[in-house]
Chain A
């Protein structure tokens, strides 16, 4: 899928405003803010309220497992303003050419349409909805890697946690790939040695960028108004209903959140299983490597011995043949997958911890309350 995305992306050269103003036309006060070469690093990601609600809506109505879409916007003086987004169609699990092609076509036509209505059409990244915070997936990293090359500032990924949102706190986090990861990927792949030298763990693959949500002042005022309790129209109303609010108090906070518990554990188990399988694969590979290596070493030692003997006998030593040609030592397997799986395990456990932690507190609260009444 990543490849398809890459193909469909506009090349960075012609992406930002083709009819770019001439440099001298830029007023002096603005020249500092506009950087054509993308020199000013992105400090903050600013999400428009519309983008937030669009993402939430997309992820709560869609029933697929893989919910993702593209972010559009512009960066200005270190602030990446995300002003619009659109969802991408769910692609089937079997990544045949057809579906990826369709995806690319869809994306291109979508961008074209947006351009026609003079809306923002410059890609700045993509968003991904996850459950229980486990957003470390191979596809996410792949797409982000592609974006890194093609987009200004390398693009960002906004992760939205559906589970948290259901519980009442909308969770958005913005990430981009860390420098270490880029280095490791460019230079040496993800062998154990490179992981160690680059100090790479699952938590350092991505670095988080602070997020800010921008709302219309009018909208803010409206929301503020909504939450403020208003005195009742009836002067002799009982104290309980003396104030009414558009958001009546709900008891949903008291729910223990059992529904997601078993789902959470199941996911955790799945991740653990996958990790174990990956681990076995790794072990198998490393055994293979070790075996090949010993064979090669034996061969070298034998050859050396032979040569020493030949020299002692006054014969010409045999040439030291190219070992690499004789023995195909398989390359060290990539540890990326297992690292990502560890990240998932970590995320699931954290989600489990937080949900069960609050549930426990609630249960203690109930118990204490019951104790005082009795």
Chain B
């Protein structure tokens, strides 16, 4: 029984011997020495420094160890302890030597080493060796001596040495403060202190030896599939992994968590072992919870990502955890629970409610898993095979998310359910149906699945709809917004332009999105861009142009879509900003191809802008551009002296624009269809056909605008043959232009010609028009200023409503005569109220000045 007692009492110190033991045996063995390397690599720097050194020193005296036999257990354990002491003493000796030659740099190094060792010792909750206290005391004296000597002596120490000395002074001071009590007792009676220490250490020497004996027995019983290293490692403490001891280990690990010198890899290994011996569901849940969190803890730095192996292990374990919870309804993992004793085994029978509630959060594991996955994708080169390999893990992740969703549904946890559904949506909203099918197939292959699946929903749209509707009904505004945007994106991806547009407009997101967080803004930008692409695919050129224009006008497309960090000219980002920016980047597989996007935007701009450009007759009007980015490119292309054959997408579009301007629609069509990037667009062929048709129509319009001054009349049949359009569509286009007052002409049906009526504006008419435009602009600017002045960002709609608007309208009528009447007379919409308010504002100002 005393054996067991010893085991129970001394688990912590035993961790240390195990470590050094492992190293010692690892030394001679070449196979496991490679293991050492991998281990030490991932360890803290501190360990890295120390491990080789220890191994080395072991080596020096280790020749004799090699022929140590296993039965000589006692001696080994002792030597493990002694070894450390010996090492410390060796360091002390070196320090003494250095002291003699006044080499403070060396002393500093050695002292650092020593303190580290002692720190370790303390972590193992072993008493501080008396040797250390002794050294510290003597060191303090010699440092003081040296300082005094330094002051007196004429000759200066060299700079390095002097710096080391001052550093030492500080360190010693700090240390003395830490061990103040020990030092005092040592100084009072060195003998007694030594004795005390010896007493404190004595029982331990016995304990490990007993452990060893029993562990050897256990190691024999163990299966032989584990290599030497694990066996030995286990041999040091294998006996401790009993179901009863689990909670104690867990607590120790929990306490060590986050501390500086804890070996995370070791913890994970311990927990893995614990999992293997855990029997009851309660134990397993507890161990799994601890294990998963410690896996996530494994690398602390924010910039790097979790190693894939660790990640998949964590994912597997999360699966396990969910499985356990799903199978046994008597256990629940909740974020808020009543306090319970962590060291006691709990069973459903003991609980009042019949359910064992355990503190923890599955949803945070899912969040973390997903985040880590994204981060790893951000960090892996997207053009390598590694990325593809990593991407394959998404299937597993998706399954885990689905299962978590099912669990949340089962347990009716509202908030986590919403979050997990959001995660699920994020994984599927930008995926084409084929990929979604694969994901869903994998997810539904298990019998434990969420209520909504692709099979039950029959199509991806319905699936998205059901998932999103759930979030719309949830209270979380952020999630609701994101779900809405993802839903819009999904609609747009499936060419359902009108639904997507209506959803976007009805959500009124564009008014509030500026105050949203960056991630939501990114999702918003993505949704808008996808909507634009969708309009383009559907042949709604104008819509595509206006939708995409906003984002292209900023010239920071990549940044806004989180697909690259923008290089600013006048302004460099701080490292923190850059880091934050990097973390926001989307993984490559979710990118929207910006070149394709640009091609779509420029082509739609071309189709909108070129006819408008042709219809303008004064230079002044020409300055107003619908699409500034396009106009800039066009101007640039115009200035080019020599144009070679087109290479880039832009070249293609610019040359096509020129061809369109001169009425050569065939050339234009060929140039546009030659653009290679179209191949990335789904339904490329139909898009190309659509573009050809648009080019014919817009070509006709441009031709009419450009060349109509040179004709008195034009026959429709000629137009139809020139642009190879059916006569019907030619006449419909011409009629539309006449109706829209773009073309002053009339159709002569009987002879099938367009007759042009020339109207030339006189100079004063032109001027009057310009004046009217100018004044309009000023009035609008004035209104804006007035709005700001009058306070409140209330929109026009708000102001137009209510009795005030009516009153204003009347006032306006009185003041402004004809104009006011005309405006006020109609249905009093926002426009009338707007004019009226302006009039009132001006009037009151006038009154004030008088």
Contact = CB atoms under 8 A, between A and B. Distances in A.
A262 B761 CA distance: 13
B842 to A, nearest CB: 13
A351 to B, nearest CB: 14
Nearest to B775: A272
A204 B763 CA distance: 35
A328 interface: no
Contacts of A265: 764, 767-768, 771
A220 B183 CA distance: 126
B774 interface: yes
Contacts of A199: 849
Nearest to B763: A262
Given A269-B771, A272-B774, A272-B778, A201 B763 contact: no
B764 A201 contact: no
A269 B849 contact: no
Given A199-B849, A201-B849, A266 B778 contact: no
Interface string A233-276: 00000000000000000000000001001100110110010001
Contacts of B767: 262, 265-266, 269
A246 to B, nearest CB: 37
Contacts of A261: 764
Nearest to B768: A265
B770 interface: yes
How would you classify the secondary structure of chain A's contact residues: helix, strand, loop or mixed?
helix
A269 B767 CA distance: 8
Contacts of B764: 258, 261-262, 265
A203 B771 CA distance: 23
B763 A268 contact: no
A269 B770 contact: yes
Interface residues of A, number: 13
Interface residues of B, number: 10
Interface in B165-182: none
Contacts of A276: 778
A258 B764 CA distance: 9
Contacts of A204: 849
Interface string B761-789: 00110011011001100100000000000
A199 B847 CA distance: 12
Nearest to B767: A265
A312 B746 CA distance: 86
Nearest to B849: A201
A261 B763 CA distance: 10
Given A199-B849, A201-B849, A262-B763, A269 B768 contact: no
B20 to A, nearest CB: 48
Interface string A170-194: 0000000000000000000000000
Contacts of A262: 763-764, 767
Interface string B808-847: 0000000000000000000000000000000000000000
A268 B849 contact: no
A266 B766 CA distance: 10
A203 B764 CA distance: 29
Given A199-B849, A201-B849, A269 B774 contact: yes
A352 to B, nearest CB: 9
A276 B779 CA distance: 12
| Residue of A201, A203, A258 most packed against chain B (CB within 10 A) | A201
Interface in B741-775: 763-764, 767-768, 770-771, 774-775
B710 to A, nearest CB: 28
Nearest to A275: B778
A272 to B, nearest CB: 5
Contacts of A272: 771, 774-775, 778
Contacts of B774: 269, 272
Contacts of A258: 764
A363 B181 CA distance: 114
A204 B771 CA distance: 27
A188 B87 CA distance: 84
Nearest to B770: A269
B786 to A, nearest CB: 14
Nearest to A195: B849
Contacts of B763: 262
A269 B777 CA distance: 13
A262 B766 CA distance: 9
Contacts of B775: 272
A365 to B, nearest CB: 21
| Residue of A201, A203, A265 most packed against chain B (CB within 10 A) | A265
A266 B764 CA distance: 9
Contacts of B849: 199, 201, 203-204
Nearest to A204: B849
B785 to A, nearest CB: 10
A203 B849 CA distance: 9
Nearest to A265: B767
B758 to A, nearest CB: 21
A258 B778 CA distance: 27
| Residue of B763, B764, B768, B778 most packed against chain A (CB within 10 A) | B764
A276 B770 CA distance: 15
A203 B850 CA distance: 10
A336 to B, nearest CB: 16
Contacts of A266: 767
B771 A268 contact: yes
| Residue of B770, B774, B778, B849 most packed against chain A (CB within 10 A) | B849
B472 to A, nearest CB: 40
A235 B561 CA distance: 99
Contacts of B771: 265, 268-269, 272
A265 B761 CA distance: 15
A212 B475 CA distance: 82
Interface in A62-115: none
Contacts of A269: 767, 770-771, 774
Contacts of A203: 849
Interface string A31-70: 0000000000000000000000000000000000000000
B649 to A, nearest CB: 37
A203 B767 CA distance: 27
A269 B763 CA distance: 14
A293 to B, nearest CB: 17
Nearest to A199: B849
A281 to B, nearest CB: 15
A276 to B, nearest CB: 7
B768 to A, nearest CB: 6
B849 to A, nearest CB: 5
B200 to A, nearest CB: 43
A276 B774 CA distance: 10
A276 B778 CA distance: 9
Nearest to B762: A262
A334 B661 CA distance: 48
A276 B771 CA distance: 13
B620 to A, nearest CB: 10
Contacts of B768: 265
Nearest to B764: A262
Nearest to A201: B849
A270 to B, nearest CB: 11
Nearest to A273: B774
A324 B778 CA distance: 36
A155 B775 CA distance: 37
18 contacts: A199-B849, A203-B849, A204-B849, A258-B764, A261-B764, A262-B763, A262-B764, A262-B767, A265-B764, A265-B767, A265-B768, A265-B771, A268-B771, A269-B767, A269-B771, A272-B771, A272-B775, A276-B778
Closest 6 CB pairs of A and B: A265-B767, A262-B764, A201-B849, A262-B763, A261-B764, A272-B774
Interface of B: 763-764, 767-768, 770-771, 774-775, 778, 849
Given A258-B764, A265-B771, 16 more contacts: A199-B849, A201-B849, A204-B849, A261-B764, A262-B763, A262-B764, A262-B767, A265-B767, A265-B768, A266-B767, A268-B771, A269-B767, A269-B770, A269-B774, A272-B774, A276-B778
Interface of A: 199, 201, 203-204, 258, 261-262, 265-266, 268-269, 272, 276
